[in-house]
Amino acid sequence: MNILVCVKRVPDPAENEIEISSDGSDIEREDLVYSVNEWDNYAVEEAIQIREQHGGSVTVVSVGEEESEEVLRREMAMGADQGILVSDDAFEGSDGRGIATILKAVAESGDYDLILTGAQSDEGAAQIGGMLAAMLDQPYASLVNEIQVQGGTKLQVGREIEGGNQEVSEIELPCVLSIQSGINEPRYVGIRGIRKVSGVEIPEKEASDLGLSEDQVGQKAARVKRVDYFHPEMGEGAEILEGSTEEVAEKLVELLKSKGGMK
Amino acid sequence: MSRQIFAYIEHNDGAVEDSAFELIKVAEQMDPQAQVTALLFGSGQELEDACQHAASIYPQVWKVDKQEHSYPNAELIRPQLVNLLPADAVVLAPFDTFGMDLTPGLAIKLDSAHVSDIVGLDGVDGDTLKAVRQEYGGQVHTHVHCDLSGGAVLSVRGGVFPASEGGQEGQVADKTSDAGEVQAGRRFLEVREAEVGEVDITKEDILVSIGRGIEEEDNIEIAQELAEAMGGVVSCSRPVVDAKWMEKSRQVGTSGMTVKPKIYLAMGISGSFQHMGGVKGNPFIVAVNKNASAPIFQVAHVGVVEDMLEFAPVLTEKIQEMK
Ligand SMILES: Cc1cc2nc3c(=O)[nH]c(=O)nc-3n(C[C@H](O)[C@H](O)[C@H](O)COP(=O)(O)OP(=O)(O)OC[C@H]3O[C@@H](n4cnc5c(N)ncnc54)[C@H](O)[C@@H]3O)c2cc1C
Ligand SMILES: Cc1cc2nc3c(=O)[nH]c(=O)nc-3n(C[C@H](O)[C@H](O)[C@H](O)COP(=O)(O)OP(=O)(O)OC[C@H]3O[C@@H](n4cnc5c(N)ncnc54)[C@H](O)[C@@H]3O)c2cc1C
């Protein structure tokens, strides 16, 4: 099975406190630590496991700036066979539809039986997989937490729904799935693994290589635009306990006692 | 001319879900004059009952009654919606596991704009909808402008808009014959219930809940000692379960357990809506987080800005001393 996995380079949630730039036009990007979107890493692991059992290939693709090459290389160190970087100034200002349009062009320039995305990324839109499937006229399932290959024509998939219950379906290939975290245990990538793929060429594609025109992607095509970032006026929020660690702990014990937080 | 607004209604056992009461409020915020139409897919008596329920909230209800819709499959419903809806419709849907399945593709098939997980509205200006979203797990908010001129599919976070009180006497119209064929490349088989664990966190009064801030599996002991000192048990956020450090039955949130403790002590948890969605019953919430601007501090009653790995053992000790 030939599998395409879409991966996005995002600020690592475990490493960063996100702050807004002074004019509100962006987040403070200096000093941010980036990594591959958590969900996408699970998707790549899943693709590699399918290849290990059933043969085929795993291709990872990222739309973004030059730096996105890092995450492609990381996923190749994990075991993806090849990477494609898609980068062009014309993509600036793309909305979700724009990104999906670019990924559709990538999908059509290859021969893939299965396309995987993450369930959601840093912007939390959870939209690219479903858009891509609709554009390609392929069936779609979101929030997939189990995949079983059934012959060459279909999969049995589990979707994780409310309450952690699992909705089991059969889906025809080719199809698009968005992968929920926890579906597998992504393998560890060490420095040595990264070094092994450091020399591998990663082809870079531009809008023109994919036959994309300006009215399909970027600012002009976007029907959804982010105007600014802000922090809303909130209620009081939490009462923050001040003092040394010991003092704070003592205050908290008193509070917990009064609220029945001790048996 | 006023825009036609539709609301996709989820229902269960003949009753509409809470989102049905909220989506109409969203529509009214967009256009106070809107004649909002509820869309219900299902089959038989259950659907009929749900439609009657929906008619107490919406002036118009469209139903599509097919055996195949007795369990909602977004892949079957999407093409039928495309057949039914005008091209420039504004469609509202809940941002939940069904909405995530349905709406992105629906926007493409209707050639409409798509905004997901809307948490606020700043009104409509001509053809521009001004919406509020969050990014980075709720760490920042964004203003988003959406072009409504070619229609739009909008998914809305649950529990943030007020609920309608109902009191409508809406008309139910059967649209089954206009909806076209039901066919899809995805066939529903069954729902498997989540496994139950040895500890039932839904019955506990005191929960010490840990998130990604626990950093390593070995550190869970620190939380266990604290929970023991308090007379409670340890629960957790999703990444801890994803890492296979705790059982799924310990996970609090929309895709885990709904808990209603008296005390919820959240350590190293950022406070995403999917996590907080599982914390009910208005407990006393204490958050321990090293990031002073973590979203959890907006919902917690008391906050401690510290490294949880250092703070938790000190707290355990103090509890033992001061008990
Ligand atoms: C070059 C570029 C310029 C942009 N400019 C703007 C701008 O000016 N204004 C603005 O508001 N937004 C901009 N964006 C953000 C863009 O709108 C979002 O990246 C897009 O909507 C996808 O993120 P999402 O949160 O919607 O993805 P989701 O739908 O939440 O992500 C789901 C999955 O889709 C896949 N995916 C998402 N994005 C990519 C990607 N870039 N490459 C490969 N796979 C991906 C991943 O598998 C991911 O897990 C830009 C993005 C890029 C890459
Ligand atoms: C469909 C769907 C369903 C989901 N369902 C659930 C669900 O049921 N439950 C759930 O929890 N999530 C759920 N999620 C995931 C959710 O979106 C978040 O990704 C998740 O809740 C984040 O968990 P977290 O707060 O532990 O991690 P993060 O968001 O990474 O937060 C970690 C926090 O710990 C703090 N921290 C780090 N180190 C320390 C330290 N040493 N001391 C103190 N603080 C520290 C950081 O400042 C940060 O605030 C779901 C997602 C999707 C798409």
Which is more confidently placed, B322 or B243? B243
Q: Which ligand is nearest to the Cα of residue A63, counting in written order?
A: 1
H-helix segments, B231-304: 238-242, 273-276, 296-299
Q: What is the CATH architecture of B201-322? A: 3-Layer(aba) Sandwich (3.40)
User: Residues B271-285: pLDDT tens digits?
Assistant: 999 999 999 999 999
Interface with chain A: mutation pick from B128, B136, B217, B321, highest number of A CBs within 10 Å = B136
pLDDT at B237 over 90: yes
Please tell me the class of the A2-221 domain: alpha beta
pLDDT at B257 over 60: yes
- Scan residues 4-63 of B and list those with Cβ closer than 8 Å to A: none
Are domains B4-179 and B201-322 of this chain identical in fold?
Answer: yes
pLDDT at B36 over 70: yes
Q: Are A13 and B270 in contact (CB under 8 A)?
A: yes
Mean pLDDT of all residues in B124-136: 96
Q: Which pLDDT score, from 0 to 100, does residue B1 have?
A: 46
User: Residues B203-216: pLDDT tens digits?
Assistant: 999 999 999 999 99
Q: Which ligand is nearest to the Cα of residue A37, counting in written order?
A: 1
Indicate where chain A has its CATH 3.40.50.620 domain(s): 2-221
Q: Which pLDDT score, from 0 to 100, does residue B106 have?
A: 98
User: Residues B220-230: pLDDT tens digits?
Assistant: 999 999 999 99
Per-domain residue ranges of chain B: 4-179, 201-322
pLDDT at B2 over 80: no
User: Residues B134-192: pLDDT tens digits?
Assistant: 999 999 999 999 999 999 999 999 999 999 999 999 999 999 999 999 989 999 999 99
User: Residues A101-114: pLDDT tens digits?
Assistant: 999 999 999 999 99
* Mean pLDDT of chain A, nearest integer: 95
Q: What is the distance in A from the centroid of ligand 1 to the CA of A24? A: 19
Whether this model's ipTM surpasses 0.90 comes out as: yes
Mean pLDDT of all residues in A26-36: 92
- The continuous run of DSSP H or E covering B312 comes out as helix B308-322
Query: For residue B242, what is the DSSP state?
Result: H
User: Residues A125-153: pLDDT tens digits?
Assistant: 999 999 999 999 999 999 999 999 998 89
Mean pLDDT of all residues in A190-212: 94
Contacts of A167 (CB under 8 A, 6+ apart): A158, A159, A160, A161, B188, B190, B191
Q: Report the Cα B24 to chain-centroid distance in Å.
A: 16
Q: Which pLDDT score, from 0 to 100, does residue B195 have?
A: 87
If you take atom 47 of ligand 1, which residue's CA is the nearest one? A117
Right CATH for B4-179 from 3.40.50.620, 3.30.360.10, 3.20.20.70, 2.130.10.10 = 3.40.50.620
User: Residues B21-30: pLDDT tens digits?
Assistant: 999 999 999 9
Contact list, A94 vs chain B (CB under 8 Å): none
Ligand 2 pocket, mutate which of B272, B273, B293, B309 (most atoms under 8 A from CB): B272
